[in-house]
Amino acid sequence: MNILGLQRLIEMELPIMRNTFLFRNLSDIPNAHMQVYGNQPRWIMRGFGGGVKITDSPYDVKEERILGFPKERLGEVFNEINKGLDRRRIPTFKRLYFVAEVFLNPDVEFSGQALKNGNVYVDICKGIKPSRTDWDPDISFTIPLVGGRIMCSEIPQLEHRPSAVRIARDLRVLPETTYVDFTCLNDGYFFYHDLGQIQLKTNS
């Protein structure tokens, strides 16, 4: 995950993983925030160092993460995350962490990726999309943008069309070559969990 992309999503007030909270010290997390799931193992924690650029691939950004733990393990997990950052010699003042609700394969209705590059291109996978590998989408949309406006009449009436239009609306104000990863859970909660910019290859 590119932590800069997550921060950008927060700044734009776009939907992100449920109950996400960014912090630098464990004491920053409000006690009430950690009571949301009682003793259920519904949390994920990630820890990041500095030096990340928005054009860095989320798959190349080094991070420490532990997922699926209850609130009682918060201190233990935080220590484990920091051991990993210690091994990478990340200075304490450069460390940034977050907790959020974990989502697993059975929780996911659909997921995918979208790219703004002239038009907005949305690829959707039924279920959770494969990671770190090429995959064939179950549904694809090419959504025309003309002067920043979405040409809704040219969008085919396919499954998940409303979500594709929503994604295009969110991406249209962002720079060219911006991409996002998105997920919709079985309970209908839709969110983004990666945002960045890619360097497109050109034919020489």
> What does the pLDDT look like over 103-162, one tens digit per residue?
888 999 999 999 999 999 999 999 988 776 778 899 999 999 988 888 888 888 889 999
Same domain, 193 and 129: yes
Write down the pLDDT at residue 158. Answer: 87
**pLDDT at site 203:** 54
CATH number for position 24 = 3.30.1490
Closest CA to 17 of 84, 60, 67, 89: 67
Q: How far apart are CA 20 and CA 5, in angstroms?
A: 14
Do residues 85 and 144 share a domain? no
Range of the domain at 23: 3-102
CA-nearest of 181, 183, 178 to 196 is 178
How much is the pLDDT for 132? 66
- Give the chain's domain count: 2
**Interacting residues of 50 by C-beta distance below 8 A, sequence separation 6+:** 90, 91, 94
* 19 or 50, greater pLDDT: 19
- CA 13, distance to chain mean position in Å, is 13
Q: Tell me whether residue 169 is in a domain.
A: yes
Q: Say whether both 60 and 7 belong to one domain.
A: yes
pLDDT of residue 10: 94
Has residue 202 been placed in a domain? Answer: no
pLDDT (tens digit per residue) in 146-202: 888 888 888 888 899 999 999 999 999 899 999 999 999 999 999 998 898 887 665
Task: Tell me the pLDDT tens digit for each residue of 77-88.
Answer: 999 999 999 999
pLDDT tens digits for 21-68?
999 999 999 999 999 999 999 999 999 987 787 777 776 777 899 999
* pLDDT given for residue 204 in this prediction: 47
203, part of any domain: no
In a domain, 204, yes or no: no
Q: Which residues pair with 111 in a beta bridge?
A: 125, 183
Residue 47 inside a domain? The answer is yes
pTM: 0.88
Look at the alpha carbons of 191, 104, 72, 76 in this order and tell me if their dihedral is positive or negative.
Answer: negative
Residue 4 in this model has a pLDDT that exceeds 80: yes
